[in-house]
Amino acid sequence: MLVEVDDIHVRYGDLVALRGISLKVEESEVVCIIGPNGAGKSTTLAAIAGGVTPHAGTIRVGGQSILGQRPEQVARLGLSLVPEGRHIFGTLTVEENLRIGGYIQRDRAAAKADFDRLLELFPRLAERLRFPAGRLSGGEQQMLAVARAVMTRPRLLLVDEPSLGLAPKIIDQIYEILLDLRQRVKLTLLINEQSSTRILKHADRLYVLRGGRMQLEGRAADLQDGEAIRHAYFGFDEGQAARMETTA
């Protein structure tokens, strides 16, 4: 098992973000977390990547607990985060953005090789190497964010809402790239999304998060009709739905 999250609780001061989340990701899987805004999806990824520390529960990578480790340490274990909103370094050039990911490698030659290979995969970025990254379009920035994360040679890529603010065609491209990378460099993917339609096609397993709690988990194949997902997502239980019908 690559990553195992066990009953973590996360608080921002008095605000409780996660109330006992458990999930696991196996090698080579594509796992997706969906849920409405504010459900805690970003917090979950941030917790795994070391950006926030749960005050209860454990997170294990390859059997070892990584709780309390700093993000830069978690990155060195092979977990890389592509955060919501991209967070590219706007004042640095595209090339510098990419190189940052490579500094984790001791082996400079290997980092250079990665750099060249990524430029082949992302020709749009190759064309704009010297641009300040802030001048790229939304889709290009997302590609840069993904490429940059891949430079750290991750085993697991944590992608937070890759489709946010992007046109459908671009989103398709991004997903194509993610899945292509998964094949090429044996990447495992853990993706957050608000909407399930696109991801259901590609994911192996699905988690539904709402209100800081896991509402549903299952194999994507079993959840194709979307009924269970809708219930978990919107929070109606059978009883509630029935009561609403009788009072209507």
Partner 1 sequence: MIQLLQNLIDAISLGSIYALVALGIGLLFGILRLINFAHGDFITIGSYALIVPSADVTARLLIGAWAWPVMIPTICLIVVIVALLTDALAFRPLRRASSPTLMIASFAVSYIIQHGVLMAYGSRPKAVDLWSGANTQVLIGDLRVPMLQLITLAVTLVLMLAISLFLKKTSYGVQMRAAAEDFRMAQYLGVRGNVVIGIAFAISGILAAAVSLLYTTQSGSLSYTMGVPLALFAFVAVVVGGMGSLVGAVVGGFTIGFIVTMLQAYLPPDLRAFRDAFAFAFVILVLLVRPAGLVPARSTFERV
Partner 2 sequence: MRRSFARHQTPFLLIAVLGLIALASALSDNDSVRVTLTEMFIRVTVVIGLYVFIGNSGIISFGQIGFMCIGAYAAAWATADPSFKQIMLSGLPAFLQDNQYPFLVAMAGSLVLPAAVALCLGAAIMRLSGTAASIATFAFLIIVNSVYSNWDSVTAGVSSIIGIPTVAGPWTTYIFAVLAVLAAYLFQISRFGLMLRATRDDEVAARASAVKILRMRLAAFVLSAAIVGAGGGLYAQFLGILTVDPFYLDLSFITIAMLVVGGMFSLTGAVTGVVVVTAIVELLRLLERGVPAGSITFALPQGSQEIGLGIVMALILIFRPSGLSKGREFAPFPAKPAEVASSPARLPLAGEPERATR
Are 133 and 97 a contacting pair, CB within 8 Å? Answer: yes
Position 158 contacts partner 2 (CB under 8 A): no
Find the shortest distance in angstroms from Cβ 51 to partner 2: 8
Residues of this chain that bind partner 1 (CB under 8 A): 49-51, 70-72, 75-76, 80-81, 83, 87, 89-92, 96-97, 99-101, 103-104, 134, 148-149, 151-152
Considering only 34, 47, 52, 150, the residue that binds partner 2 (CB under 8 A) is 52
Question: 94, exposed or middle or buried, with CB in 10 Å at 0-12, 13-18, 19+?
Answer: buried
As beta bridge partners, residue 188 has 156
Find the shortest distance in angstroms from Cβ 71 to partner 2: 12
- Report the partner that residue 14 touches, choosing among partner 2, partner 1, none (CB closer than 5 to 8 A by kind): partner 2
Q: How far apart are CA 175 and CA 26, in angstroms?
A: 20
Find the shortest distance in angstroms from Cβ 73 to partner 1: 9
Are 210 and 235 a contacting pair, CB within 8 Å? Answer: yes
- Report the partner that residue 238 touches, choosing among partner 2, partner 1, none (CB closer than 5 to 8 A by kind): none
- Report the partner that residue 38 touches, choosing among partner 1, partner 2, none (CB closer than 5 to 8 A by kind): none
Q: How far apart are CA 247 and CA 209, in angstroms?
A: 29
Cα dist from 205 to 10, 45, 197, 222, whole Å: 24, 16, 14, 9
| Binding-residue pattern over the window 12 to 41 for partner 2, x denoting contact by CB under 8 A | xxx---------------------------
Are 125 and 131 a contacting pair, CB within 8 Å? Answer: no
The residues of the shown chain that bind partner 2, judged by CB under 8 A, are 12-14, 42, 46, 52, 87
